[in-house]
């Protein structure tokens, strides 16, 4: 088992290297640092000195891959690739355009992100599974049909409308909770309750439909028919047999997103003014802070690779038939 985990972690290295190379090519080769400087400083009246200053400030003035002016190992290290891309592997993200350290910023913003993402994830799953189980119990009836219709309708509404509608109705019209904002104490629940509810509601449509199809597939299996033939009541079949076995694909499917919860949610964080990683990313994109975007891309892919590993491991935990060699 440990050997397997170790080998899987080794597999992650080429993937992360690939991500790094891709971002490097995107950020430094497709457009040279000169182009970036010109755009950030304003394309029209910009002097070569200003560009040079901008590049030196950010450390982009070195050669891209190979430094001919140096000797020995420094030839490879005194380069943009080594300083900006390879350093990501040791979580040295450098500084953002406002001169704050990106790694520290990420650590402080992780808390609010998780405070929003974890409840959305857990409550959302619980609601979706309950609803799906309910619908699967009443399969091929009018309840089933209309719930599925409602799910498709809910899937067809853009997530932005859920947020805008929720903010308008709950915060502005009824003044139940503040529209946006965040505090770092236990009182934060007042700010979090609306985004959590909206996050759950906006996922109900697709989630319920997806889990319903899993339940229905499980219910068409032979062992369920055998259980019914033995005279076990439908409720007992659902809870004792179907639910347990259907949880295997549900859990293994959900595990892959758990590490990504750290990234926070882009849209709802910025709508509700929660200072998490999602709103950090959006701010970086909007102010074109390339260093932050690069760091977030790296962190995101790292978390995804971790999620894949967790998925494989979770198969062995929940399904005794799977053995990892």
Partner 1 sequence: MWVILWTDGLVWLLCVALLLYVGYCLVDAHRRTPWRRVFSQRSAVIAAVVLLAFALIGLLDSLHYRAQLSTTSAEQRYSGEVRSALDWLLPHLRERNEKTYSAPLATHSFMRETIDLADGGVRRVFVRLRYGGAHLADPSQVWTDVVQRAGAGLIAAILGWCVVGLYVRTWYARMPQIKLRTAWCTIGVLSALCVPVLFLSTHYHVFGTDKVGQDVLYLALKSVRTSLAIGTLATLVMLPLGVVLGMMAGYFRGWVDDVIQYLYTTLNSIPGVLLIAATVLMMQVYIDTHPSLFPTAAQRADLRLLFLCMILGLTNWTGLARLLRGETLKLSTLDYIQAAHAFGVSHPRILLRHLLPNVMHLVIISLVMDFSGLVLAEAVLSYVGVGVDPSTTSFGTMINAARLEMAREPMVWWPLATVFIAMFVLVLSANLFADAVRDGFDPRLRHAPSD
CA quadruple 234, 216, 154, 207: dihedral positive or negative? positive
Q: With binding defined as CB under 8 A, does residue 233 bind partner 1?
A: no
Q: With binding defined as CB under 8 A, does residue 198 bind partner 1?
A: no
Q: Cβ contacts of residue 31 below 8 Å, gap of 6+? A: none
Of these, 156, 185, 321, 325, which contacts partner 1 (CB under 8 A)?
A: 156
Task: Considering the complex, state which of residue 71 and residue 220 has its C-beta at the smaller distance from partner 1.
Answer: 220
* 222-223-229 Cα angle (round to 5): 90
Task: Considering the complex, state which of residue 20 and residue 314 has its C-beta at the smaller distance from partner 1.
Answer: 20
- Segment near partner 1 (CB under 8 A), from 89-97, 122-130, 227-235, 292-300? 292-300
CB of 286 to partner 1, least distance (A): 5
Footprint on residues 245-284 left by partner 1 (CB under 8 A): 260, 263, 266-267, 281-282
Task: Quote the CA–CA distance of 68 and 243 in Å, as a whole number.
Answer: 64
Q: With binding defined as CB under 8 A, does residue 150 bind partner 1?
A: no
Burial profile 35-66: b = 16 or more Cβ within 10 angstroms, e = fewer: ebbbebeeeeeeeeeebeebbeebebebeeee
Of these, 54, 137, 215, 290, which contacts partner 1 (CB under 8 A)?
A: 290
Q: With binding defined as CB under 8 A, does residue 36 bind partner 1?
A: yes
Task: Quote the CA–CA distance of 96 and 292 in Å, as a whole number.
Answer: 6
CB of 307 to partner 1, least distance (A): 9
Joined together, the tokens standing for residue 44 give 């029209």
Cα–Cα distances in Å, from 190 out to 3, 110, 160?
46, 19, 21
Which residues lie near partner 1 (CB under 8 A)?
A: 14-16, 18-19, 22-23, 26-27, 30-31, 35-36, 38-39, 43, 140, 152-153, 155-161, 164, 167-168, 172, 216, 260, 263, 266-267, 281-282, 285-286, 288, 290, 293-294, 296-297, 300-301, 304-305, 308
């Amino acid at each position: 088992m440990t050997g397997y985990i170790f080998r899987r972690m080794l597999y992650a290295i080429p993937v992360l290297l690939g991500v790094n190379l891709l971002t490097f090519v995107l950020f430094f080769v497709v457009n040279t640092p000169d182009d970036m400087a010109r755009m950030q400083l304003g394309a029209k009246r910009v002097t070569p000195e200003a560009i040079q200053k901008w590049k030196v400030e950010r450390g982009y003035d070195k050669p891209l891959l190979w430094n001919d002016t140096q000797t020995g190992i420094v030839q490879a290290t005194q380069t943009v690739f080594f300083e900006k891309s390879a350093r990501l592997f040791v979580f040295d993200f450098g500084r953002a355009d406002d001169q704050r350290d990106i790694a520290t910023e990420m650590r402080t913003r992780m808390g609010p992100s998780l405070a929003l993402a974890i409840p959305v994830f857990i409550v959302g799953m619980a609601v979706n599974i309950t609803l799906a189980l309910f619908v699967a119990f009443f399969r091929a009836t009018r309840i089933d049909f209309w719930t599925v219709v409602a799910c498709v309708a809910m899937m067809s509404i853009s997530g932005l409308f859920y947020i805008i509608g929720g903010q308008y109705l709950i915060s502005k019209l009824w003044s139940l909770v503040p529209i946006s904002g965040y505090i770092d104490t236990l009182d934060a629940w007042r700010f979090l309750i609306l985004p959590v509810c909206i996050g759950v509601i906006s996922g109900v449509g697709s989630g319920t439909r997806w889990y319903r199809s899993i339940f229905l597939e499980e219910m068409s299996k032979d062992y369920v028919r055998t259980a019914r033939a033995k005279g076990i009541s439908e409720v007992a079949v659902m809870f004792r047999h179907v639910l347990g076995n259907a949880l295997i694909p549900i859990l293994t499917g959900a595990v892959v997103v758990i590490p990504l919860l750290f990234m926070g949610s882009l849209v709802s964080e910025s709508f509700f003014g929660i200072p998490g990683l999602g709103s950090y990313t959006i701010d970086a994109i909007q102010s074109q802070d390339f260093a932050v975007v690069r760091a977030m891309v790296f962190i995101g892919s790292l978390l995804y690779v971790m999620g894949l590993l967790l998925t494989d491991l979770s198969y062995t935990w929940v399904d005794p038939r799977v053995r990892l060699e």
